[in-house]
Chain A
């Protein structure tokens, strides 16, 4: 009888602990390390079992509710893993900021402007919590239209294809944003001569396939000012050599400029205070947010 009571108590305790934990450490890991004297903050999230999911808040809604207020309302009852700024905005002030590049939020069109000055990454965040990206330069965006036909669309070079894509995004309530694409299918896509020589700290989102076939999302935060080319190179080297990824499917830029929002949660629900896992701007001032959460 006593053994049954102890077993029941142990079961209840483990259930309670897992209910109270922010996430299972089997799916989320953080590491702060120094490579050649430079601090890296790396957040690794496994997409196995679809426990870790993605959500993107592109802009204020039509009623003028700020991104922060939308996020605050949405996160009630959810276990947040990390929050970061997403793509670039037209203004540093969240009250006036609008996203740069094509953007939809749950099917609502926020911006129809396709940027053609190096914003080659088109990220699609699905309602199921997954994420995919395509290289606009290659025009390899593939969607299944309403008539069931799977079609390859080149939204940068065909106005009609772009119209079909916008209709698809509305019909499927997709969230889409455009940003810099630095790595695609294991290759650096950035040109050293033509890229910006401005040096600043960088943050990247890399979706990779491990040798086991597992899909992992990495947020790599580099705490030293580098040019975009050098930072991308270092991030790719880190993923290939230290994380031993089989393929970096894509690596996007997360805006660390005037919209430098970044928060990572520990397993116990508290927030990391170290500079490798925090941004310099308060989340209340975010003009857009990419959120990882655990279910």
Chain B
């Protein structure tokens, strides 16, 4: 004989509907994460060498006030940023016109390839993940040169450090706040891992829901309960206990009805 479930109790339906919506929402979040793994081509630092034009660009009185008189915009419009020989030539030119202050020459070149380059090329902070990958590929070369050409390590460290700070602080971290689902894309994870490999840890914003799920998966019940208790308002606590009460009532009603049915059948 077929046993019909007498689910007439509205609270039971409400509970089942809420559970279905939560599970559906979770599945949607998982499915909607992008899985594209296309990677931009590396614009290699072995791009063709071109002789430096810096000597023609510098004003004759640059030695008097090198930082103020350096033509940052003009330099960046013609500089070959992808060839380290060209950049070393630029440094030699600076040292020849301003031999008394070599540390200032390195500081000028650092400023050109960091703050000035950012204004020249990266005015907007809304870079795509592909652009960020290209930028990290370029900046990471200086990390290698830092260890090979130790005489200029300060210069290379400053350039690599600036751009990696930029990628993390002004792109990866805000992205994780404004668009939480981007954290689960392959390119974002690649960028984060690459930055961490280069010792630029990228803290990512974790939503409260993600924290709850993370604690549930790791069975950190004590921390979950403690944090939930401390960080929720009185209204949220009341709503929570009401939901618990409704759920318990729904189960009690369901089992009471089932018991009556079974008893009637017998």
User: At the interface, yes or no: A17 with Cβ under 8 Å from chain B?
Assistant: no
| Chain B 151-183: CB-based contact to A (< 8 A → 1; otherwise 0) | 001110111011011001100010000000000
Q: Are B154 and A115 in contact (CB under 8 A)?
A: no
> How far, in whole Å, are A167 and B158 apart by their CA atoms in the complex?
11
Knowing A90-B201, A163-B157 are in contact, say whether A115-B231 is a contact too (CB < 8 A): no
Closest approach, in angstroms, between the C-beta of A107 and any C-beta of chain B? 14
User: At the interface, yes or no: B230 with Cβ under 8 Å from chain A?
Assistant: yes
> How far, in whole Å, are A109 and B198 apart by their CA atoms in the complex?
11
> How far, in whole Å, are A112 and B168 apart by their CA atoms in the complex?
11
| Chain A 145-171: CB-based contact to B (< 8 A → 1; otherwise 0) | 000000000000001101110110000
In-complex Cβ contact of B154 among A88, A114, A163, A201 (8 A)? A163
User: At the interface, yes or no: A39 with Cβ under 8 Å from chain B?
Assistant: no
Chain A neighbourhood of B204, CB < 8 A: 90
User: At the interface, yes or no: A116 with Cβ under 8 Å from chain B?
Assistant: yes
Q: Are A199 and B161 in contact (CB under 8 A)?
A: no
Q: Are B196 and A98 in contact (CB under 8 A)?
A: yes
| Chain B 102-141: CB-based contact to A (< 8 A → 1; otherwise 0) | 0000110011001100000000000000000000000000
In-complex Cβ contact of A159 among B110, B169, B226 (8 A)? B110
- Which DSSP category, helix, strand, loop or mixed, fits chain B's interface? helix
User: At the interface, yes or no: B202 with Cβ under 8 Å from chain A?
Assistant: yes
User: At the interface, yes or no: A200 with Cβ under 8 Å from chain B?
Assistant: yes
| Chain B 206-230: CB-based contact to A (< 8 A → 1; otherwise 0) | 0000000010001010110011001
Chain A neighbourhood of B110, CB < 8 A: 159-160, 163
User: At the interface, yes or no: B64 with Cβ under 8 Å from chain A?
Assistant: no
Chain B neighbourhood of A159, CB < 8 A: 110, 114-115, 158-159, 161-162, 165
Closest approach, in angstroms, between the C-beta of A143 and any C-beta of chain B? 14
User: At the interface, yes or no: A198 with Cβ under 8 Å from chain B?
Assistant: yes
User: At the interface, yes or no: B53 with Cβ under 8 Å from chain A?
Assistant: no
Chain B neighbourhood of A110, CB < 8 A: 199
Interface centre among A115, A198, A281 (most CB of B within 10 A): A115
Closest approach, in angstroms, between the C-beta of A170 and any C-beta of chain B? 11
Interface size class of B (residues with CB under 8 A): 35 or more
Give the residue name and chain of the A residue nearest to B226 (CB): A280
Q: Are A198 and B231 in contact (CB under 8 A)?
A: yes
User: At the interface, yes or no: B194 with Cβ under 8 Å from chain A?
Assistant: no
B75-103 contacts to A, CB under 8 A, are none
Knowing A93-B218, A163-B161 are in contact, say whether A111-B230 is a contact too (CB < 8 A): no
Knowing A90-B201, A159-B159, A200-B230 are in contact, say whether A114-B165 is a contact too (CB < 8 A): yes
> How far, in whole Å, are A201 and B106 apart by their CA atoms in the complex?
47
In-complex Cβ contact of B200 among A93, A111, A199 (8 A)? A111
User: At the interface, yes or no: B203 with Cβ under 8 Å from chain A?
Assistant: yes
Closest approach, in angstroms, between the C-beta of A123 and any C-beta of chain B? 17
User: At the interface, yes or no: A9 with Cβ under 8 Å from chain B?
Assistant: no
Closest approach, in angstroms, between the C-beta of B195 and any C-beta of chain A? 8
Closest approach, in angstroms, between the C-beta of A118 and any C-beta of chain B? 12
Q: Are B114 and A201 in contact (CB under 8 A)?
A: no
Chain B neighbourhood of A88, CB < 8 A: 203
Closest approach, in angstroms, between the C-beta of B266 and any C-beta of chain A? 52
Chain A neighbourhood of B227, CB < 8 A: 200
Chain B neighbourhood of A109, CB < 8 A: 199
| Chain B 20-62: CB-based contact to A (< 8 A → 1; otherwise 0) | 0000000000000000000000000000000000000000000
Knowing A113-B165, A159-B110 are in contact, say whether A199-B231 is a contact too (CB < 8 A): yes
Q: Are B203 and A90 in contact (CB under 8 A)?
A: yes
> How far, in whole Å, are A167 and B161 apart by their CA atoms in the complex?
13
A108-134 contacts to B, CB under 8 A, are 109-117
Q: Are A258 and B114 in contact (CB under 8 A)?
A: no
Q: Are A113 and B107 in contact (CB under 8 A)?
A: no
> How far, in whole Å, are A99 and B202 apart by their CA atoms in the complex?
10
Interface centre among B162, B165, B223 (most CB of A within 10 A): B165
Closest approach, in angstroms, between the C-beta of B146 and any C-beta of chain A? 9
Q: Are A113 and B202 in contact (CB under 8 A)?
A: yes
Give the residue name and chain of the B residue nearest to A119 (CB): B203
Closest approach, in angstroms, between the C-beta of B34 and any C-beta of chain A? 23
User: At the interface, yes or no: A225 with Cβ under 8 Å from chain B?
Assistant: yes
> How far, in whole Å, are A93 and B202 apart by their CA atoms in the complex?
16
Q: Name 19 extra pairs, CB < 8 A, besides A164-B154, A167-B154.
A: A90-B202, A92-B214, A93-B218, A100-B201, A109-B199, A110-B199, A111-B201, A112-B161, A112-B164, A112-B199, A114-B169, A116-B165, A117-B173, A160-B158, A162-B158, A163-B153, A163-B158, A200-B230, A280-B223
A–B pairs, 11, beta carbons within 8 Å: A111-B199, A112-B161, A117-B173, A159-B161, A160-B155, A160-B158, A167-B154, A200-B227, A200-B231, A201-B230, A280-B223
Chain B interface residues (CB < 8 Å from chain A): 106-107, 110-111, 114-115, 153-155, 157-159, 161-162, 164-165, 168-169, 173, 195-196, 198-204, 214, 218, 220, 222-223, 226-227, 230-231
